[in-house]
Structure 1
Amino acid sequence: MGCAISGLGLIPKQQTQPRNEDDAVAHLADEQIEMIKESWKVIQEDIAKVGIIMFVRLFETHPECKDVFFLFRDVQDLEKLRTSKELRAHGLRVMSFIEKSVARLDELDRLDLLALELGKTHYRYNAPPKYYGYVGAEFICAVRPILKDKWTPELEKAWKTLFQYVTGLMQQGYLEEEGAKHNHVMVSTKERPDKRNTAL
């Protein structure tokens, strides 16, 4: 089907070991960045539509993802999802993140911080990293018909690379937040006074 995210991606700066062999060598070239920016100009004209298509497809192809979304968990009718104001709002938030990511392609430090923070937020929402790659794949499937003949294998590779990079950073942010919460619980437990040894 051509919609799955491949193993191509940039290595986030904070990562010391590549996630797989493809990550060790792949990177976004200047021409790929330009292709992404040019295609984004067309995509953003249909930004709300792309957000809805992306999430309806996500729930269609990966129904287990609905468990993460409290508002959509029990909705079985995809037509209801297509007209849902809540889904439209969430789709727009995700598209806004993609827009910010594209705007920061020339400032990777800022993109890194944005994606790490989003990963930490997803930990607080209990949205695990295993779902992150699905969104990029469904985004690509949603924008391909909008871009029509402007969609090329090279452009697809560029978008896949960007999503691989961003989702890698999000995963890192998620794990950092998880570790921080775990360490906080461990420290809090150790700091509790032992009631048996407390003098009255």
Structure 2
Amino acid sequence: MGCAISGLGLAPKKTTEAASEDEAPHLTSEHIHMIKESWKLIQEDIAKVGIIVFVRLFETHPECKDVFFLFRDVEDLERLRTSKELRAHGLRVMSFIEKSVARLDQLERLDSLAVELGRSHYRYSAPPKYYGYVGTEFICAVRPILKDKWTPELEKAWKTLFQYVTQLMRQGYTEEEEEAKRSNTVGSSRERPDKRNTAL
């Protein structure tokens, strides 16, 4: 059950950081308009889309289940389709997409939302290598819902949005990771003098 979009650049690539920074995704006003219009139709099936996205994600990239404690050992995809926990998580992700779409006219608000999501993913131990897969599976899930309204231009718009958000999530993840390393370094350097004092 593959999707023809795997080569569209949403899935993580092995490129240098410099190259990926040069190719920063740019959301045009046309992209924003198309995303907003299509979202009106997509949101009618929001719970269904959320489940499809994650069942497909676990089917095409089973290694992603390692990040999800509740689904780690579930091999039966049918059981996943009817899982209340998966439905709830799918709805949370769809809610984030909904918030992203609502902030498309105020990109600074979308930026802070995506960076914060990346930070929280560091705390959940969900590494950036998986982020691009969600966008790919989302596009595969919504294409049949939109039928003839789905166009190459609309696909490009959604792809750009997911690349934009994913880049910011990676930034947030890295910031949180660096802060955690700094606090660990500061914490351990504070402990050393105390140990010397107790030894005296």
Q: How does 1:15-34 map to 2 (within 5 A)?
A: 19-23=20-24, 26-34=25-33
Give the residue type in structure 2 aligned to 1:113.
S
Q: How does 1:53-64 map to 2 (within 5 A)?
A: 53-64=52-63
Corresponding residue for residue 83 of structure 2: 84
Please tell me whether residue 195 in structure 1 is matched to residue 195 in structure 2.
yes
Deviations 1:56-101 (A, max 9, x none): 0000000000000000000000000000000000000000000000
The total of aligned residue pairs comes to: 191
Corresponding residue for residue 48 of structure 2: 49
- For structure 2, the residue ranges without an aligned partner over 5 or more in a row are 11-16
Corresponding residue for residue 12 of structure 1: none
Corresponding residue for residue 130 of structure 2: 131
CA distance in 2, matches of 1:130, 1:190: 32
Q: Describe the shift of the 1:5–1:133 C-alpha distance in structure 2 as closer, same or farther (beyond 3 A).
A: farther
Q: How does 1:98-113 map to 2 (within 5 A)?
A: 98-113=97-112
- For structure 1, the residue ranges without an aligned partner over 5 or more in a row are 9-15
Corresponding residue for residue 144 of structure 2: 145
Please tell me whether the aligned partners of residues 32 and 158 of structure 1 are also in contact (alpha carbons under 8 angstroms).
yes
> How big is the shift at 1:17?
5.7
CA distance in 1, matches of 2:4, 2:156: 11
Instruction: Report the identity percentage.
Output: 75
The TM-score, its normalising length taken from structure 1, stands at 0.90
The TM-score, its normalising length taken from structure 2, stands at 0.90
Tell me, what secondary structure is at the counterpart of 1:76? coil
Please provide the CA RMSD for this pair: 1.8
Give the 4+ runs in structure 1 shifted more than 2 A.
1-8, 20-23, 194-200
- More helix as a share of residues: 2
Please tell me whether residue 38 in structure 1 is matched to residue 40 in structure 2.
no
Tell me, what secondary structure is at the counterpart of 1:71? helix
CA distance in 1, matches of 2:199, 2:138: 62
Give the residue type in structure 2 aligned to 1:29.
T
Please tell me whether the aligned partners of residues 5 and 136 of structure 1 are also in contact (alpha carbons under 8 angstroms).
no
Corresponding residue for residue 159 of structure 1: 158
CA distance in 2, matches of 1:27, 1:199: 59
> How big is the shift at 1:6?
3.4
CA distance in 1, matches of 2:139, 2:49: 10
Q: Which shifted more, 27-36 or 148-157?
A: 27-36
Give the residue type in structure 1 aligned to 2:6.
A
Q: Describe the shift of the 1:47–1:189 C-alpha distance in structure 2 as closer, same or farther (beyond 3 A).
A: same
Please tell me whether residue 6 in structure 1 is matched to residue 8 in structure 2.
yes
> How big is the shift at 1:142?
0.1
CA distance in 1, matches of 2:95, 2:117: 12
Q: Describe the shift of the 1:194–1:62 C-alpha distance in structure 2 as closer, same or farther (beyond 3 A).
A: same
CA distance in 1, matches of 2:84, 2:144: 24
Tell me, what secondary structure is at the counterpart of 1:19? helix
CA distance in 1, matches of 2:116, 2:21: 23
> How big is the shift at 1:21?
4.3
Please tell me whether the aligned partners of residues 5 and 164 of structure 1 are also in contact (alpha carbons under 8 angstroms).
no
